[in-house]
Amino acid sequence: MSFLDVKDLKIHFPTDDGVVKSVDGLTFGLERGQTLGIVGESGSGKSVTSLGILGLHKGGRAKISGEIWLDGEELVSAPAEQVRGLRGKKMAMIFQDPLSSMHPYYTVGHQIIEAYRIHNAVSKQVARKHAVDLLGRVGIPEPGKRVDSYPHEFSGGMRQRAMIAMALSCDPELLIADEPTTALDVTVQAQILDLMRDLQREFNSALIIITHDLGVVAELADDILVMYGGKCVEYGKTDEIFYNPEHPYTWGLLGSMPRLDREPTERLLPIKGSPPSLINVPPGCAFHPRCPYADRTEGRASTEVPDLAPTERGHLVRCHMPRTERRSLWENEIKPVLETQ
């Protein structure tokens, strides 16, 4: 069993308009020292997944089923108090928007010290010293002075560093970063990505990075899980997903991005239509209304949900098209077009 094992995780929200199936049967595993990138568009269920692992849907209206095993402990059926004891210490989260996820009335130091003292019986002085150390480690200049600053006195990049320091305060073994660099400028993004990579190496923690930016996952991730409409559509090693993707949605994502590392093309190759509503996920394969190859499945695309099946190269793909056909499409039609870009 891996360090983190998620099995058939379902997170559904009953609403007046129907059940929102935000996460619908997600299975993945992660070892210490490894990084998993979860990629998807807005509404694909990637953030709900991360909140679910942290147990932050407990006590709400969410209906959660499946299993989440973290280092031998099952979290879905565990009482809320037990999961709260793990949060901060065993697992921690870096949120997307540091301005709205820090308390504006308390100093940055206070917020780090608070988290540290909940899990460690130490004096305020010791905790404060720890907070100063951490701020220094994440690259905040003059940490001894900055520890008494309020969040609004920090720039965006510094706030994100402070968030990282807060998440790391108890040396968590599992770190979840939800769009950690989306709100930042590129030069600052590059600094933060470097920092996360270095810290992960140092602490040997398991890292889940959630993003819509394929560039960011290419930089950091060992494995990639592509989500669409609450389900995993493709899951495998980073190199496999980038160089031998087999799901038409992954092809679509790769074709939609203008790339700096290739010659500019005349046109981008977008995916037609827009992402589905999670209340009315299209029947069968959720991607079929947008899929250019839906007619190659003998009508099964709109009636049957495809299985997440292994390819001969060892990664998992949820698609009705026969494997040989997918391979030949990728090799002969998709890859040449993408590579001339």
Partner 1 sequence: MSENEPLLSVRNVEKHFPVTAGLFKKQVAAVKAVDGISFDVFKGETLGLVGESGCGKSTTGRLVTRLLEPTGGSVEFEGRDITHLSQGKLRPLRRDMQMIFQDPYSSLNPRHTVGAIVGAPFRIQGVRTENGVKKAVQDILALVGLNPEHYNRYPHEFSGGQRQRIGIARTLALKPKLIIADEPVSALDVSIQAQVVNLLEDLQKELDLTYVVIAHDLSVVRHISDRVAVMYLGKIVEIADRKRLYSSPMHPYTNALLSAVPVPDPKARKERERIRLKGDVPSPLNPPPACRFHTRCWKAQEICKTVEPPLETLASGHSVACHFPENAPVAAATAGEAGKD
- In the complex, the smallest distance separating the C-beta of residue 236 from partner 1, rounded to whole angstroms, is 12
Contact letters for partner 1, residues 237-256 (x by CB under 8 A): -xx--x---------xxxxx
303 near 283, Cβ under 8 Å?
A: yes
Contact letters for partner 1, residues 120-159 (x by CB under 8 A): ---------------------x-------------xxxx-
Residues 220-239 that bind partner 1 (CB under 8 A): 238-239
- In the complex, the smallest distance separating the C-beta of residue 213 from partner 1, rounded to whole angstroms, is 7
- In the complex, the smallest distance separating the C-beta of residue 202 from partner 1, rounded to whole angstroms, is 18
Which CB atom, from 55 or from 157, has the smaller least distance to partner 1?
Answer: 157
Alpha helices in the chain (DSSP H): 46-53, 80-86, 98-101, 108-119, 124-137, 143-146, 156-168, 186-203, 214-220, 238-243, 248-256, 323-329, 335-339
Contact letters for partner 1, residues 265-284 (x by CB under 8 A): x-xxxxxx-xx---------
Which CB atom, from 181 or from 205, has the smaller least distance to partner 1?
Answer: 181
Please report the DSSP string for 191-204 in residue order. HHHHHHHHHHHHHT
Query: Would you state the structure tokens that stand for residue 55, as one six-digit string?
Result: 């147990």
Question: β-strand 63-70 against 73-74: which pairing, if any?
Answer: antiparallel
- In the complex, the smallest distance separating the C-beta of residue 195 from partner 1, rounded to whole angstroms, is 11
Give the Cβ contact number of residue 337 at 10 Å.
13
- Applying CB under 8 A, which of residues 22, 50, 189, 297 lies at the interface with partner 1? 189
Contact letters for partner 1, residues 27-66 (x by CB under 8 A): --------------xx------------------------
Report which of 149, 185, 181 is spatially closest to residue 164, judged by C-alpha positions: 181
- Applying CB under 8 A, which of residues 122, 257, 281, 305 lies at the interface with partner 1? 257
Which CB atom, from 35 or from 205, has the smaller least distance to partner 1?
Answer: 35
Q: Rounded distance, CA 242 to CA 115, Å?
A: 38
212 near 40, Cβ under 8 Å?
A: yes
- Applying CB under 8 A, which of residues 56, 188, 281, 305 lies at the interface with partner 1? 188
Q: Rounded distance, CA 169 to CA 98, Å?
A: 16
Cα separations (Å) of 201 from 32, 143, 173, 177, 221? 10, 23, 12, 15, 13
Part of the chain binding partner 1 (CB under 8 A), chosen from 57-65, 87-95, 185-193, 322-330: 185-193
